[in-house]
Structure 1
């Protein structure tokens, strides 16, 4: 009996093990979970914070239903006529509105972020002159031995006032700024008052390198009590100026001075106002605090000083900057000028990191939240600023600018990397959903995995169309005529991000960012800003790598210190890499070069373009540091190999040469062929295996075998527009690469997920069109479902044209129309047909026999229909939404006023659309094409076996 039990037990274990082995051999190919965080978010503009619970709930429910996963509250300027509804920023009623919003967010599963400032940059009425942004001014004097200075050591700041959209005289502005009761109307951008500036230091420089500090010899009235010793003397007097930058686009209670970003006291003073008013408010539902891009210096002059700068400089750079003021301002030898200026700029960078970014991040964590930070445009190494942020965020369309944020996120291991998406895609009211998708795909292909629209205004339900709007947005709000198809776009983003967020980067190259070269090069201004638009410092090599299809992330000197080597892989906190590439570089810190050589000794492969850096950076202890550097580099024994030189060092290798392709091949780094096909892509690593996001924004269909630089046992295509999936066709896979058949129409994107074992899925079809086309002819019934200014009458037509050609009324209409017709099933035995809608303005949702087939955003409006879904006679319905533009044209021509905002009311994107009043106008536009223009056709297709 016991023996029988044992046999049964062994049999059970055998069967269980067999099932386990079988499960291990077969992967589960499933869509990842969709969460609030994988969905796109949107910046939620609160005009003057004139919000109320009823409309907050209504707005949030509409956004949630449209597929948004979260909202970022940014209070901005107000709407004329609603002044009495404004909630003063961060005061009691405002805090209640924030708390209510957070509770509604929890109910609706909408995440909530909050911009720390009303507008941008950080600042407000509680920031007084002592904590406001500063600049440095200087004067020079010459004295010979025995002479005394006749003039007083004084500098009077000249008055300046800049305002948005109108002229303001300085006499209209009172000091301090917080005493002005009409800041909303003034809309100040920058203010300086005429006043004497405080002296920071007075230094004298003699002919024999003698340096004297004369600061304590200057009387209160500016008289210098000093007689010059023998020889010629140059005197430098430094004064602390008031930069005068005001918070841009601020709402009620948020107007005022911008903070000194290099002062911890200023940062904490700014943040304390929130603390002072949030004591009894439950903000536990808040995910993150947000900071818009560093736009302090988009004004007259720069904010380039802080009162403690001399002390901070000496602590970091090891010498007293006051001894080198001639070099700071470019009046010493070329080499000394470059080195002192570099040290000054590096100190500014350190202060922006340590006194603002880190302080703000720590403060946020103390509130149980994180920070989402736009660091671009800062006078600092923005890679380090982004790395210190919980969620780095970028904006714009330049790949190098985007990759600054994503690189720092990848290297430091940030799970989310955000973008300010869809800003100024076109002129007002002319951006369509395909434009937005292209913008999103650009971000996704360069490593962003958290799309945040820019944005959606809060608007009361009773506001007249088009509701409340923001001057620089694409107006993706419920009043937009494209709103019926917004969820399709948002679902697409969520499907893509469900893969990209649950991944780690899989890039081959770390590209050193040679910021010390930029810091050492004198320009028109004291500071250099990075990532504001395009990034010229590495433009040539970055564009070469991108165009060729090499995958890379930028890395800073601070981040290089964190690298390790394991199994010949260079390990950063967030990802592994195959090599480090150092572009042609003049200056490099000694510590960075030492670390690179140490990495090579441990097995890393380091590539230097052209030559090793010529010198260490900076001024302190230069002779000793330069000696160590030359000893370090001269110990490398290079051997010439064709067009490159190689030095074996420890377990690794250092390469020099001007043919980057050859050196990268030498270290077994190869480009992705996808780039050569004009495809955008992002390669990541997921638990299941390597994963590619691939997007085609060329003007031709890609329909061919493409080599990928990763091996595949099995691969599955996931279509994020319709959630279809199926096995990809693979061949010739080896240990380093594979081939996959790619079929992508213009504007189409796919996810390609590799698996380590077999998957139980049908093949994703590769369609081959036959040389036949059936045009859908006959009557179309066109009825209008939503929009305005009024709903036009239904009409019937046998010829598809823009609905604007039907009547004057339809030229004014923006909204959605339903096109219905019937057609006979084509003859033949094709397994499927491509339904081509032809020309569509602007997006379309397709129904066949009452069943929704999908939403098409363009630029190609095609959808595949299986033969089984067709009946002998079929009803086709296409719901098409056009742009807001036609209704706006009518409003502008008839003088209807929708431009009723304070501050920047209502800027045009293009000069030709600026009216006599300086505001945007569409009065010169002709009605834009709208609706289903066609021709609509069916083309039989068959699935190819390749």
Structure 2
């Protein structure tokens, strides 16, 4: 639909604001994950694919050895062409040489697939991943005189060695039984039988008539191989992530077999990151040989006192618990805290030091192990990363963002666009609907999932895809590249992401609320009360912190704000431990720190019942200390207690704090960066069905400012035509379609002598192409009044515009993408033929409603001709026009009268086409690109 406008310039702008975010480098652009079938690749094809990635507008790539579509156990020339083989290294050299010549960044996975592994160890080596397995037997009123109970989970066929950690006897609680699931034990009843074991035999005489558990704990290698094995000639095994030996095996291998002087030089030409994927380890109880000694030194007691409740079975299910649930909770917390300590100290720290010494950054997905303190881990790496597939809530990203804010990390990365059962069916619009809210939750870098090398054994048309099919079924999206119809539109998408990332990687992250999580496990579903739910709908911005971040050098209070250089929060929120039914627990150190913050004047809101707080870990003495600090804290005027989530709003109201960005309740959400004197705001309508049209108010730091709106699709920047400044706040209108975004930067100026409207009865205001004049617009005649910032009132009389034109009589030319060589199962599996369908339509309708195109996928062009203006009332650019479209299932581009419009916001429904139309006959062409599978 073409909707013409009545428009009239009504005033001049008296100053010029220079602001541009159109220039950005490869570090600002999105990367793409590039999957290789080992070294079974051709260097010339590798260079060609680098060129394709560059032409599509990506800033770089990440090389991964992944081939899930090839059945696990199938050997894809791993002996001669496996990961780290000579052909693989030669291909890496070719990729880096071509990338450097194109100015592309180049990241590398640390190893084949995931978890981290090498093929120079065996499961029995100290460097290999270990597990704690358990055996059990029960006795009642009889002596146990038999073999040490054997583990009832089978060992890997390649794990030959096992070491006995403990044999213990535990009294079964009188309210439980040997057949219960779980079995409840009496804490403190343990009798250590380890030293009495002889020739694998143990004797135990029960001291009473109760039922007793004979419990054995044995450590052995997991024998886990990286996913989708084999990748190497010699079998690769996952390394121990909780001791130094595991890291040393990895770094020694890279130093000895991969990092030639040539490769080091190529890596050094442009910034590189080594990437480690999530910890998808297969054991139930994570262990390392030195765990007992590490546990005692860190927690202050012997891990044997809690061993049955931390030794889990399949799928991390507990077979045993203590009758006192508080003891069970504290024991598990102590175990998980120790595991986190070891992971951070003995895995992350040495890997980062090794990589940084090479001038290479360390990018990590610090999650996958239940209970792992991912927030604290994320604060210690160069680039923490999350994922749109595994993260079920935006608050998982907010957890990584809290870590990034505290450590001054500019990039929170995101593995973007992996959707189950969506291979060859993903559109750029779906990607946008996913990434835009994630930007608002703290993401500032994206690595698209992904790009497959063109061919591999067993591949079919339109080319090899690393993640589909999987076990004969449709796999994960997406295999982007020239074989995907929408790839032609990739530059529009990468340009948009690059401009957003350019802004979001600048300056410092700023938030209102630091929400304390007792457990920093970001992959667990956690949504803090109020602040990211009801509070987020009215402007509260929130990032998560945990006890580990409270020990950070940036974690201090100054001027009534927390972490002024690490988030600059106005309030801390503390909720009970959701993993323990909301238990009011804190570590002793956390309770003391929070009390000191409160004494320094920081507002704190405690959510839930904190009348009887206790220690996060074991220890009655610690619980007494926690209660003392919490009681003293709650007595302070700047600390409020909200009994429930519904009471939070009232509680924070009594503290006199509010969000920096404010708006009426809606689907709007945002993120904020403070970049020197600039304040950058990113807004998104976070809903699949509901947009926003409302006024937004933001706090200001300077008296003379102007708000500049950046269009991340075109790169154009314009001073808003309508805004007001009052009482230290800037207000402006905002209208967005579902999942649509905008960027607003508040710029200080030397003078406020910049004409803008503060109020108008006109349906819309704009600036002309030079930005020097305000324009009132309306799709109907009328007299409209605009009040300027200097108090002047301007009346604009607009005549009746040309009649709205409903565009009909469309021609649709569709190119149906089909295998060029037979059925696509043999021959040149990457060759595609285009079968043309030409149709005449009476209206602009989707393909799915056209019978002839039911099974057609590819690209198509809708075109129509229409006449604009008439004798005595011609169309002129001084009036204007909108093109109104409906939603497309795919991505689109528009050309008018043979001229392509700039990249268009794929989530918008109305476009200003004033400059492209002319009086008389006009031609509109809309190019649509759809995935192969619809």
TM bucket (normalised to shorter chain) is 0.7 to 0.9
- Cross-structure match for 1:351: 342
Give the Cα separation in 2 of the matches to 1:457 and 1:675: 45
Q: Of 290, 297, 305, which residue of structure 1 is paired with 2:275?
A: 290
For residues 523-556 of structure 1, what are the alpha-carbon distances to aligned partners after superposition, in whole Å with 9 as ceiling and x for unaligned? xxxxxx93336226x3666434334431111001
Q: Of 842, 857, 867, which residue of structure 2 is paired with 1:824?
A: 867
Q: Of 189, 213, 216, which residue of structure 1 is paired with 2:195?
A: 216
- Cross-structure match for 2:757: none
Residue aligned with 2:322, SS: coil
Tell me if 1:580 matches 2:572: yes
Q: What's the offset of the Cα at 1:718?
A: 1.0
Once the two structures are superposed, the pairs formed by residues 225-624 of structure 1 within 5 Å of their partners are 235-250=214-229, 252-253=231-232, 256-281=236-261, 282-286=263-267, 287-297=272-282, 302-325=284-307, 329-331=320-322, 333-379=324-370, 380-396=372-388, 398-424=393-419, 427-459=422-454, 465-471=461-467, 472-515=476-519, 530-532=521-523, 534-535=525-526, 538=528, 542-562=532-552, 563-571=555-563, 573-584=565-576, 586-612=584-610, 614-617=612-615, 622-624=619-621
Contact 1:423 1:474 in 2 (8 A): yes
Pick closer, same or farther for the CA change 1:333–1:807 going to 2, 3 Å: closer
- Cross-structure match for 1:914: none
Q: What's the offset of the Cα at 1:338?
A: 2.9
Residue aligned with 2:835, SS: coil
Residue aligned with 1:270, SS: helix
Tell me if 1:30 matches 2:20: yes
- Cross-structure match for 2:66: 76
- Cross-structure match for 2:313: none
Pick closer, same or farther for the CA change 1:556–1:542 going to 2, 3 Å: same
Q: Of 600, 621, 626, which residue of structure 2 is paired with 1:629?
A: 626
For residues 656-715 of structure 1, what are the alpha-carbon distances to aligned partners after superposition, in whole Å with 9 as ceiling and x for unaligned? 233211232324223744572322322222234222112235445544433335577210
Q: What's the offset of the Cα at 1:737?
A: 2.7
Give the Cα separation in 1 of the matches to 2:69 and 2:420: 24
Pick closer, same or farther for the CA change 1:824–1:271 going to 2, 3 Å: same
Q: Of 671, 676, 685, which residue of structure 2 is paired with 1:696?
A: 685
Residue aligned with 1:791, SS: strand
Give the Cα separation in 2 of the matches to 1:593 and 1:475: 49
Pick closer, same or farther for the CA change 1:834–1:347 going to 2, 3 Å: same
Q: What's the offset of the Cα at 1:402?
A: 1.9
Q: After the TM superposition, which of the residue ranges 392-401 and 440-449 deviates more from structure 2?
A: 392-401
Q: CA RMSD in A?
A: 3.5
Residue aligned with 1:668, SS: coil
Residue aligned with 1:199, SS: strand
- Cross-structure match for 1:13: none
Q: Of 130, 133, 154, which residue of structure 2 is paired with 1:134?
A: 130
Q: Of 712, 719, 729, which residue of structure 2 is paired with 1:727?
A: 719
- Cross-structure match for 2:10: none
Q: What's the offset of the Cα at 1:346?
A: 1.5
Q: What's the offset of the Cα at 1:611?
A: 4.4
Q: After the TM superposition, which of the residue ranges 679-688 and 58-67 deviates more from structure 2?
A: 679-688
Give the Cα separation in 2 of the matches to 1:766 and 1:346: 61
Pick closer, same or farther for the CA change 1:821–1:142 going to 2, 3 Å: closer
Residue aligned with 2:482, SS: coil
Q: What's the offset of the Cα at 1:506?
A: 1.8
Q: Of 873, 882, 905, which residue of structure 1 is paired with 2:921?
A: 873
Give the Cα separation in 1 of the matches to 2:190 and 2:75: 62
- Cross-structure match for 2:789: none
Higher RCO, 1 vs 2 (CA within 8 Å, ≥6 residues apart) = 2
Contact 1:77 1:252 in 2 (8 A): no
Give the Cα separation in 2 of the matches to 1:128 and 1:382: 28
Give the Cα separation in 2 of the matches to 1:754 and 1:865: 28
Tell me if 1:662 matches 2:650: yes
Give the Cα separation in 1 of the matches to 2:258 and 2:864: 59
Give the Cα separation in 1 of the matches to 2:335 and 2:907: 50
Give the Cα separation in 2 of the matches to 1:154 and 1:461: 48
TM-score (norm 1): 0.77
Residue aligned with 2:362, SS: strand
Contact 1:404 1:554 in 2 (8 A): yes
Residue aligned with 2:201, SS: coil
Tell me if 1:842 matches 2:890: yes
- Cross-structure match for 1:168: none
Residue aligned with 2:424, SS: coil
- Cross-structure match for 1:938: none
Contact 2:146 2:203 in 1 (8 A): no
Residue aligned with 1:660, SS: helix
Tell me if 1:199 matches 2:196: no
Pick closer, same or farther for the CA change 1:367–1:196 going to 2, 3 Å: closer
Which protein is richer in helix relative to its size? 1
Residue aligned with 1:294, SS: coil
Pick closer, same or farther for the CA change 1:197–1:554 going to 2, 3 Å: same
Residue aligned with 1:774, SS: coil
Pick closer, same or farther for the CA change 1:382–1:84 going to 2, 3 Å: closer
Give the Cα separation in 2 of the matches to 1:790 and 1:481: 12
Give the Cα separation in 2 of the matches to 1:327 and 1:82: 40
Q: What's the offset of the Cα at 1:136?
A: 2.4
- Cross-structure match for 1:780: 811
Contact 1:787 1:813 in 2 (8 A): no
Give the Cα separation in 2 of the matches to 1:664 and 1:577: 14
Pick closer, same or farther for the CA change 1:704–1:578 going to 2, 3 Å: closer
Residue aligned with 1:151, SS: strand
Contact 1:49 1:251 in 2 (8 A): no
Runs of 5+ unmatched residues, structure 2: 1-13, 172-185, 311-319, 468-475, 577-582, 755-769, 781-800, 820-831
The alignment covers a number of residue pairs equal to 800
Give the Cα separation in 2 of the matches to 1:209 and 1:799: 82
Contact 2:575 2:584 in 1 (8 A): no
Pick closer, same or farther for the CA change 1:745–1:279 going to 2, 3 Å: closer
Tell me if 1:815 matches 2:807: no
Give the Cα separation in 2 of the matches to 1:840 and 1:705: 29
Give the Cα separation in 1 of the matches to 2:65 and 2:484: 21
Pick closer, same or farther for the CA change 1:764–1:401 going to 2, 3 Å: farther
- Cross-structure match for 2:784: none
Residue aligned with 2:449, SS: strand
Residue aligned with 1:113, SS: strand
Give the Cα separation in 1 of the matches to 2:839 and 2:193: 90
Contact 1:500 1:684 in 2 (8 A): yes
Q: What's the offset of the Cα at 1:45?
A: 0.7
Give the Cα separation in 1 of the matches to 2:93 and 2:323: 58
Pick closer, same or farther for the CA change 1:783–1:333 going to 2, 3 Å: closer
Give the Cα separation in 1 of the matches to 2:25 and 2:715: 16
Q: Of 838, 854, 864, which residue of structure 1 is paired with 2:912?
A: 864
Residue aligned with 2:900, SS: strand
Contact 2:398 2:442 in 1 (8 A): yes
Q: What's the offset of the Cα at 1:156?
A: 4.7
Contact 1:846 1:853 in 2 (8 A): yes
